[in-house]
Structure 1
Amino acid sequence: IMGVLNVTPDSFSDGGRYFDADAAVAHAVRLVEDGADLLDIGAESTRPGADAVNEAEERRRAIPVVTAIAKAVTVPISIDTSKAAVAQAALDAGAVLVNDVTALRSDHAMVDVVARTGAGIVLMHMQGTPSTMQQAPCYDDVVGEISSFFDERIRFAAAHGIERRQIILDPGIGFGKLLVHNLTLLARLHHFTQFGCPLLVGVSRKAFLGQLVDRPVQERQWATAAAVAMAVDRGAGILRVHDVRAMKDVVQVAAAISRHTTLSMKAQHA
């Protein structure tokens, strides 16, 4: 379970709630107490239509919080950024993972930071940028196209000194996708296990769930639970969520059922 902590004024779900450093640290401790296995700290909103934040402002928001949280908790910390300088500063402050929604495409120095430090790297698929990604996204074959994207990004990373063991893949649910694309990706998530990298899935409270159940952001916990359970059954190893305590239970039960299903099928064919 990856607990989400946004130190932003405008994130779609919790923007502004943890903008204060003390509030952010207190929430981080609470997420860990609730069962988070790692924390993802972001200082620039990547919601649909979000405006970019400059490097200085992102550093000002993120680094004091990362520094304080690294002293307050023992779980690994991820920095959600596409800027190399912010990533480097966060890694120096105690983070061990970079969650780059642009998959090393935005800042050409990012690949060198990850290779040099040996940090983990999340390679996420996104069509367009946060400000444009939901403007009529289009795919002929969403699973095939994202598979090709992952293959190219993994090769790029390897060519620049990043080892396969450092890489986590994220199909980018809600990032440049329509409802049908998101549902297809979740239904066929197992396809991406072919790359041998952990799969990270972020469905928590997202707009596509609101389309399905017609509920506002803060009332999408049950819809999130259903999507999380399906993702676990289809191969997701890391679930990025806001409601850690509830989703921890969902993941544990879904994983147990999935394991039992696999064992039962093997026994039948033995």
Structure 2
Amino acid sequence: MADDGTLRLGKRAFGPGEFAVMAIVNRTPDSFFDGGATFATQAALTAIDQAVADGADLVDIGGVKAGYGEPVDEAEELRRTVDFVATVRDRHPELLISVDTYRSGVARRVGAAGANLINDTWSGHDPELAGAAAEVGAGLVCSHVGGLKPRTDPHRMAYDDVVADVIRTTTALARKAIAAGVRPDGIVIDPTHDFGKNTLHSLEVTRRVDELAATGWPVLVAMSNKDFLGETLDLPSGRRGPATLAAVSVAAWLGARVFRVHDVAGVRQALDLIAVLRQTATPAYTRRSLV
């Protein structure tokens, strides 16, 4: 990691106490949340334009649904992502682009097309992925899935201490990434809520985000509309927005720094307030009772 704790991606730098909002744009026809609303190219571009207008620092582009679904081979994933990444790079030259992939072949191609970060949500399943990120100068997300293979759901997962397991796994992957040539200040760790975890595990990880932050690695949380929120409050995916904001706010207060979300505007507002409350930012103005 950077000696001063700064996360550097592309031309951007996020110091300790600064929050980065990552907008989700799935190029899949079967997304769990939107059912394929941004699968078509123009719909996806419109979504990215709106995310930028709403304050997104990064956009995370995915070409394969995380869970069960129709098989998507590497050729199809490339078709869904590479040209699209190039288009987004031309359309928004300053925007940070992340690509959600577990395949090294995809990482190389999207990196060459302009991606700044490889979001490996499957915990180094492809042993060449970190090297591929290094080859294209991209950062890397190091995640925890409890040993699951890609696109499989957890079943009776058990840990002596889920947070300790997350820390052990993600920091080991971070060290391997550095050995493979990834820049230390481009590495992020992700506890990966719901992946390899039941609802109780994801809740425990959320309330102990400060322990992940204490490792010194920037922490990414991807909790937006996740099943653990739905099970906790008995809510369908379309009604989990307020719960997402609550979980994001807790994680931010405890030290998380990157937030992968659907509601960019809402999360941006919440994080901006938390930054002021934590005294890493100042109010826009303070006229009340003063003038």
Q: TM-score, normalised by structure 1?
A: 0.91
- Cα–Cα, structure 1 residues 52 and 257, in superposed 2: closer, same or farther, change >3 Å? farther
2:74 aligned partner: 55
C-alpha contact (below 8 Å) 1:39/1:76 kept by paired residues: yes
1:77 aligned partner: 97
1:264 aligned partner: none
Amino acid across the alignment from 2:265: R
1:215 aligned partner: 235
1:157 aligned partner: 177
C-alpha contact (below 8 Å) 2:111/2:133 kept by paired residues: no
C-alpha contact (below 8 Å) 1:126/1:133 kept by paired residues: no
Q: Within 2, Cα distance between the matches of 1:51 and 1:172?
A: 22
Q: Secondary structure at the match of 2:214?
A: helix
2:134 pairs with 1:115: yes
Equivalent residues in 2 for 1:186-265 (5 A)? 186-259=206-279
Q: Secondary structure at the match of 2:99?
A: strand
C-alpha contact (below 8 Å) 1:79/1:95 kept by paired residues: yes
Q: Within 2, Cα distance between the matches of 1:57 and 1:37?
A: 27
Deviation at 1:111, TM superposition (A): 1.9
Amino acid across the alignment from 2:144: H
Q: Secondary structure at the match of 1:118?
A: coil
Q: Within 1, Cα distance between the matches of 2:48 and 2:31?
A: 17
2:84 pairs with 1:65: yes
Structure 2 runs not aligned, ≥5 long: 1-20, 281-291
C-alpha contact (below 8 Å) 1:118/1:166 kept by paired residues: no
Q: Within 2, Cα distance between the matches of 1:196 and 1:102?
A: 22
Deviation at 1:98, TM superposition (A): 0.4
Q: Within 1, Cα distance between the matches of 2:78 and 2:212?
A: 33
Equivalent residues in 2 for 1:141-156 (5 A)? 141-156=161-176
Q: Within 2, Cα distance between the matches of 1:138 and 1:68?
A: 43
Deviation per CA, 1:50-98: give whole Å up to 9, x if none: 4552100100111122121111123110011011111111111111110
Give the number of aligned pairs. 258
Deviation at 1:15, TM superposition (A): 3.1
1:30 aligned partner: 50
RMSD: 1.5
Amino acid across the alignment from 1:63: V
2:145 pairs with 1:126: yes
Q: Within 2, Cα distance between the matches of 1:23 and 1:64?
A: 15
Q: TM-score, normalised by structure 2?
A: 0.84
C-alpha contact (below 8 Å) 1:121/1:168 kept by paired residues: yes
Q: Secondary structure at the match of 1:195?
A: coil
Deviation at 1:149, TM superposition (A): 0.8
C-alpha contact (below 8 Å) 2:249/2:271 kept by paired residues: yes
Structure 1 runs not aligned, ≥5 long: 261-270
User: Percent of pairs identical after alignment?
Assistant: 37
